[in-house]
């Protein structure tokens, strides 16, 4: 089986990127991470990429730049690595069609909540609050395709429920959700690679 090429876009800590790096290293995932790109130079994930010997690039949006122009440049950069999949692993910018249209069916996003719930930032915090107010009983994680500009919206590839316990602190819940997303991301990418291979067979 041929190795799948992936490019990972990040904006922060990069714990999901680390899960990808570890899975690729331990042969749990047959991928080559061609590059890690961050929109901010402060992202710790860049350090993780460098440590793993993966090209780590910073591509900030200039203040003077239109959003579409930035996205088109970002697309060119990503395309130069010929990825089979583009993984948004804590990428904190909403991508426009100037980016998305270049990778139909090949952009995966990770959201630390169940489909249709808590889109946008601080999803775990908002789920925690909703639980405290008796509005939800559990939360979860999902991986979905990114067909358009919808925030944390798109065909769901995988989802998993995460338990919230009455005595949980926010940190307890964050830890449980992150652990779940690290696993679900790897499983979903492995599944997508198989699907892509079958559709090309
Ligand atoms: C994750 O919770 C991801 O689902 C969300 O942003 C967070 C990124 O975490 N979109 P990390 O940078 O991978 O540690």
CATH code of the domain in which 101 resides: 3.40.50.170
Active site annotation includes 111: yes
Residue with tokens 């922060």: 12
Nearest CA to ligand 1 atom 10: 90
Q: Best substitution site from 10, 178, 189 to test ligand 1's pocket, by max atoms within 8 Å of Cβ?
A: 178
pLDDT of residue 77: 98
Within a domain: residue 168? no
pLDDT tens digits for the chain (201 residues)?
Answer: 579 999 999 999 999 999 999 999 999 999 999 999 999 999 999 999 999 999 999 999 999 999 999 999 999 999 999 999 999 999 999 999 999 999 999 999 999 999 999 999 999 999 999 999 999 999 999 999 999 999 999 999 999 999 999 999 999 999 999 999 999 999 999 999 999 888 877
pLDDT of residue 201: 72
Cα of 141 vs centre of ligand 1, distance in Å, is 11
Cα of 16 vs centre of ligand 1, distance in Å, is 6
pTM above 0.95, yes or no: yes
Contact 146, 100 (CB under 8 A): yes
Within a domain: residue 131? no
Within a domain: residue 150? yes
pLDDT of residue 56: 98
Beta-sheet strand order (sheet of 156-163): 56-58, 31-38, 4-10, 85-88, 107-111, 138-145, 156-163
Number of domains in the chain: 1
**Cα 11 to Cα 105: distance, rounded to the nearest angstrom:** 22
Domain that holds residue 105: 4-110+141-160+181-200
pLDDT of residue 1: 59
Q: How many Cβ atoms from other residues are within 10 Å of residue 113's Cβ?
A: 23
């Amino acid at each position: 089986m041929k190795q799948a090429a992936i490019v990972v876009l990040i904006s922060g800590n990069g714990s999901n990127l680390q899960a990808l790096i570890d899975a690729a290293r331990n042969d749990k995932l047959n991928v080559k991470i061609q590059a890690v790109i961050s929109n901010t130079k402060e992202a710790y994930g860049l350090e993780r990429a460098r440590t793993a010997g993966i090209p780590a690039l910073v591509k900030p949006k200039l203040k003077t730049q239109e959003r579409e122009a930035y996205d088109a440049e970002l697309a060119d950069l990503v395309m130069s690595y010929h990825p089979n999949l583009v993984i948004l692993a804590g990428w904190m910018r909403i991508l426009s069609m100037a980016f998305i249209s270049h990778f139909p069916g090949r952009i995966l996003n990770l959201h630390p909540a169940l489909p249709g719930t808590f889109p946008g930032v601080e999803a775990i915090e908002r789920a925690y609050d909703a639980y405290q107010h008796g509005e939800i009983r559990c939360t979860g994680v999902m991986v979905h395709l990114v067909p358009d500009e919808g925030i944390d919206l798109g065909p769901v590839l995988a989802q998993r429920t995460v338990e919230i316990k009455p005595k949980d602190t926010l940190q307890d819940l964050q830890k449980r959700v992150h652990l779940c997303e690290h696993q679900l991301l790897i499983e979903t990418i492995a599944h997508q690679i198989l699907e892509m291979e079958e559709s090309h067979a």
